[in-house]
């Protein structure tokens, strides 16, 4: 029996948040104390904390940290200042819908608490705790639901993943890496192949670090090697996460995911997306209006102090791409695995 991860990217300690600084991994595992909402917003923007569900958890605590600084005892004034805090947090990263989902849930708590300002503040911190606890449980269910849809043969699978979808990207355990953890626990995993995930190298730095911590046999490849590995018959299935899924199943995830899906289809390798239902944006019928974050071009041309490219060239640095639903074999959620085309119907049945 393999013990589940003990890696937590967001920790609530007494009256403050501790963030595991993901910009320093794998060299150093440093905890950074966050006591103010502005610092939480900066941490999300700078990717000290990253990954769709983890961003949601961090933003929820950010709302509480902001709320507790509000001095007024007057309800309308309090709510209006809380809206400003929410707006600041919404502007940190545009693509992962979990950020907006968590902020929305925190605001709902505030509006629905009819007692004193102190009661609102106390309900807000409780809601942030709930979002965190629920995400951990959700990820464990996603992991276990993945077992029912992964290929049964061979007995020990070689799985390919992209970016970091593990404990670091969630409240703990992970989505796609959660599926991989569950496969390992059941003795159904031979090895995980990890795309390095240019330009920020979440695969090489973060997923590889998690695998080493948890004793998962892992091989890092560069993004451009995935097609070759599939052609060589080295990959039994691909499992990735998601930042925002439209109602038709189109999935925005880390840049390079779409390439993987195309290549997987060409080699008849099943391609799975693992994500909580909070990552599905049922307000969007398809992916055409999913905002794709563009990050600083220095992520491409600079490594530490070293310049990789000559001056005079231009750069384009979208952080995410969209995989059309048609390329996805199934979406693995906490309520079960579903074909992308059946996502909306599946959701409405679950709501009944």
125-133 long-range contacts, CB within 8 A, separation 24+: 125/64, 127/60, 128/12, 128/57, 128/60, 128/61, 128/63, 128/64, 129/12, 131/56, 131/57, 131/60, 131/102, 131/105, 131/171, 132/10, 132/12, 132/57, 132/60, 132/171, 133/171
Q: Which is nearer to ligand MRU, 70 or 237 (CB)?
A: 237
**Contact mark string toward ligand MRU, 189..228, x via CB under 6 A:** -------------x--------------------------
Nearest approach in angstroms of CB 30 to ligand MRU is: 18
**Contact mark string toward ligand MRU, 222..261, x via CB under 6 A:** -------------------xxx---------xx-------
Helix ranges (H only) for 226-287 are 226-231, 257-266
Say which residue the tokens 């974050």 belong to. Answer: 293
The residue range among 48-56, 151-159, 226-234, 337-345 that interacts with ligand MRU, by the rule CB under 6 A, is 48-56
State yes or no: residue 59 binds ligand MRU (CB under 6 A): no
For residues 18 and 25, what is the distance between their CA atoms, to the nearest angstrom?
Answer: 15
Q: Which is nearer to ligand MRU, 123 or 333 (CB)?
A: 333
**Contact mark string toward ligand MRU, 302..331, x via CB under 6 A:** -----------------x------------
Contact residues for 217 (Cβ-Cβ < 8 A; gap 6+): 189, 190, 191, 192, 211
Size of the site for ligand MRU (CB under 6 A): 17
Sole binder of ligand MRU in the list 53, 143, 203, 249 (CB under 6 A): 53
Residue 243 known to be catalytic: yes
Binding site for ligand MRU (CB under 6 A): 50-53, 96, 163, 165, 169-170, 175, 202, 241-243, 253-254, 319
């Amino acid at each position: 029996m393999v013990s589940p991860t003990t890696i937590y990217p967001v920790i609530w300690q007494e009256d403050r948040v501790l963030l595991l600084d993901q910009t320093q991994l794998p060299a150093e595992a440093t905890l950074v104390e966050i006591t103010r909402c502005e610092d939480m917003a900066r941490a999300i923007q700078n990717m000290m904390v990253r990954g769709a569900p983890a961003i949601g958890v961090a933003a929820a605590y950010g709302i509480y940290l902001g709320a507790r600084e509000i001095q007024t005892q007057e309800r309308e004034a309090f709510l209006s200042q809380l809206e400003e805090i929410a707006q600041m947090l919404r502007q940190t990263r545009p693509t992962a819908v979990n950020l907006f989902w968590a902020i929305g849930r925190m605001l709902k708590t505030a509006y629905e608490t009819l007692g004193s300002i102190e009661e609102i503040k106390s309900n807000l911190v409780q809601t942030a705790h709930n979002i965190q606890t629920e995400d951990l449980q959700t990820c464990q269910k996603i992991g276990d639901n993945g077992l029912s849809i992964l290929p049964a043969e061979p007995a020990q699978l070689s799985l390919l993943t992209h970016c970091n979808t593990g404990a670091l990207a969630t409240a703990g355990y992970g989505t796609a890496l959660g599926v991989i953890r569950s496969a390992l626990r059941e003795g159904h995993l031979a090895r995980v192949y990890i795309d390095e995930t240019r330009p920020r190298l979440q695969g090489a730095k973060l997923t590889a670090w998690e695998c080493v911590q948890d004793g998962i046999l892992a091989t890092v490849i560069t993004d451009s090697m995935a097609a070759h590995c599939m052609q060589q018959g080295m990959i039994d299935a691909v499992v990735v996460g998601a930042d925002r899924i439209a109602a038709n199943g189109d999935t925005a995830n880390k840049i390079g995911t779409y390439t993987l899906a195309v290549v997987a289809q060409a080699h008849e390798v099943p391609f799975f997306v693992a994500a909580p239902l909070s990552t599905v944006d049922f307000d969007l019928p398809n992916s055409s209006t999913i905002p794709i974050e563009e990050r600083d071009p220095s992520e491409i041309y600079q490594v530490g102090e070293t310049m990789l490219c000559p001056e005079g060239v231009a750069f384009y640095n979208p952080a995410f791409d969209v995989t059309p639903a048609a390329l996805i074999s199934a979406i693995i959620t906490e309520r079960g695995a579903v074909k992308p085309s059946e996502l909306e119907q599946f959701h409405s049945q679950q709501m009944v």
